[in-house]
Amino acid sequence: MRSLLLASLMGASALPALAEEVNVYSNRQPELLKPLTDAFTEATGITVNAAYVEKGMAERLKAEGERSPADLIMTVDVARLGEVKDAGVTQAVESEALNVVPEALRDVDRHWFGLTTRARIIYASKERVADGEVTTYEDLADPKWKGRICTRPFTHNYNVALTAAYLAYHGPEETKAWLEGVKANLAKKPEGGDRDQVKSIWAGECDISLGNTYYMGKMLEDEEQKAWADSVRIVFPTFENGGTHVNISGVAMTPAAPNKEAALKFMEFLVSDEAQKIYAEINYEFPVSDHVERSEVVQGWGEFTPDSTPLSEISKLRPEALTLIEEVNFDG
């Protein structure tokens, strides 16, 4: 692909024009992207080439520099989007169509844009936790939960972002005290992913856990995991003076972007009603566009008020949040 591109740029005027394409680096699973790329190609004729990059996205792009074939970065979590921006491997993008993304869900300098949201919720045992017994993130440090909380490691990006949001409301001293309180309430050492924590609730090892909303949909799809999902209810906790913490999947354009015009078309497509509906159905995520409804399954989980703290602020607080998590040795 790269050699063909270079040949065309070197003035081989007799060669036929190459078909338009967009090259994407993504750490999202390929099966999540394919319905979107297929729909875009069908609508525009532009081919999307996706390379799965699980780790080291910023490092790879920095090493490739201006020779990078990548036009776009698609990833999950505001921390990862903040990392690529801070590494200097993104550029600002101006587009009216992208203004459908709420300001709180896009970078203040327009380097990245949210495509979907997911809430960081509490999974609570239907048998052992009463309705209304836990309603806020602050509640998790209450000693009444001693020995009853499960969570994946707090050094994971999802929990670092939650801690950064807590930090935005409470400052470092109160946040550190909260982390110490939650750690004291753990039923076991943090390990595994969000679904593993729900399995632990099902097994009676703990009563509540933190997790992302879409995992409920994933568990309901799986014959073995459906029993785990059926053992819990979803609680949308809030900050005492705010709403429910949400994170995003998002997109950013690279500085090199050899196919900038086509890449912008793909970005704009990703926030269109058609693409937002696909996102809502295939991964149980919340659309960023208020023109598109959540899937029926997701609507069944109830309503909530997303927290209004801009994700760009949460991204900036991430390093301090991670330092506090490490200071209390949360995962130790």
Q: In angstroms, rounded to a whole number, what is the distance separating the alpha carbons of residues 274 and 66?
A: 33
Going by C-beta distance under 8 Å and a sequence separation of 6 or more, which residues neighbour residue 135? 235, 237, 238
CA 90 vs CA 73, 85, 111, 156: distances in Å: 8, 5, 6, 23
Nearest to 50 by CA among 28, 78, 20: 28
Q: In angstroms, rounded to a whole number, what is the distance separating the alpha carbons of residues 214 and 193?
A: 13
Is 215 a known ligand-binding residue? Answer: yes
Measured N-to-C along each axis, helices 78-86 and 157-184 cross at an angle, to the nearest 10 degrees, of 120
- State the sign of the Cα–Cα–Cα–Cα dihedral 81, 85, 86, 87: positive
Q: Tokens 């050094």 — which residue?
A: 155
**SS3 state at 286:** strand
Amino acid at 206: C
**Rg (Cα) of the chain, in Å, rounded?**
21
DSSP state of 225: T
Known binding residues for Fe cation are 214-215
Annotated binding site: 214-215
